[in-house]
Structure 1
């Protein structure tokens, strides 16, 4: 595809990605609660989640979700419930000591799975991709090579954005020494995730 088609997509994607959503809230919550140890795990989860959503959109799932109110609602509620679950879990999480040992591989894998699930189980993202990506494609050129380039661009930008949020949040965490303040951070992040879940549940498809 031409640079003239790619550049507007990259700029528009960067603007969309930098706006905090459920995925960013999850990344920030883990970074504030546990530092940089989860940064790579959450970033990888976000990258794979976006890759899954965009690929599903490209093969037609976005059109199915846009057309089927029942399927859209089912996936919406699954994603919303998962966000609420994570929010409640974070709210109740014990305060982590600054010198606590590194987490195990199993725990890191669980964090990766959380980030992947939150990113993937968002029907709004799938419908968004199927409506957003075609606007920047050249109708006179083969579709799949363009789709691969645009998908790779979005995933890279989303990964850098998630990693940036994680690093900034973990840097702010270093200034937090009080157990009371750390507990407040966990509860604030938990509340934000629950709120994101409720907002996701209230979001309706254009066909609903």
Structure 2
């Protein structure tokens, strides 16, 4: 593979990574409510989840969905249900005052739990499956050497994890936090509403 091919993959995937979606939304909320460090662990999971979709695409994801289209439908509705569940939790707890101490359920979730949440969020969203199963594969030569796949996966992880680390950092800043505290209920319900809309859009398209 040429350097130009790697640059093309980097730019195309970066555009997909920074587009608003459930992963970016949760990275922002985690950075805002739980701090930069915990938001960064979530971002690591988001990057790993993107790599999982990429590996699936490289090993025939698009072919599988063509052979068994019902599988994509099941995946789509399961992902929509997961996103709507997260939205419900955000909306329900929106009026509760923000305590500097994390809720027991949240504080018990260590770095590994945050990584798994990031992975689950990515896997619950078929949007990356469509991207990796179509656009992404057009940039990968059919007989690329094994080492090239490692470089491609590294690019995907850096793009997705790196962007969401930046998002978590921006939303963890004290100025951002002060604005959030002033409008906590409204902001939490906006986050929850957006996540629910993303889930509904996923289920209906």
Give the TM-score category using the shorter length.
0.7 to 0.9
Q: Distance in 1 between matches of 2:116 and 2:97?
A: 22
| Structure-1-length-normalised TM-score | 0.85
Secondary structure at the counterpart of residue 174 of structure 1: helix
Q: Which moved more, 1:51-60 or 1:76-85?
A: 51-60
**Secondary structure of 2:141's match?**
coil
Count of residue pairs brought into register by the alignment: 200
SS of 1:106's equivalent in the other structure is coil
Matches within 5 A, 1:115-154: 115-139=118-142, 141-154=143-156
Which residue pairs with 2:8 in the alignment? 8
Residues 100-133 of structure 1: CA distance to partner in whole angstroms, max 9, x if unpaired? 2696343554443322111012223123202122
Name 1:58's counterpart in structure 2: 58
For residues 84 and 107 of structure 1, what CA distance do their matches in structure 2 show?
A: 24
Q: 2:194 maps to what in 1?
A: 192
Q: Deviations over 1:87-107 (max 9, x none)?
A: 11011223322x326963435
The CA RMSD over aligned residues, in Å, is 2.3
Unmatched tracts of structure 1, length 5 or more: 204-208
Distance between the aligned counterparts of 2:27 and 2:125, measured in 1? 15
Q: Which runs of 5+ in 2 are unaligned?
A: none
Counterpart for residue 206 of structure 1: none
Please give the alpha-carbon distance, in whole angstroms, between the structure 2 residues aligned to 1:20 and 1:2.
30
- Structure 1 runs, 4 residues or longer, greater than 6 Å off: none
TM-score when scaled to structure 2?
0.86
Match runs of 1:1-208 below 5 Å: 1-93=1-93, 94-97=96-99, 99-100=100-101, 104-106=107-109, 108-139=111-142, 141-171=143-173, 172-176=175-179, 178=181, 181-203=183-205
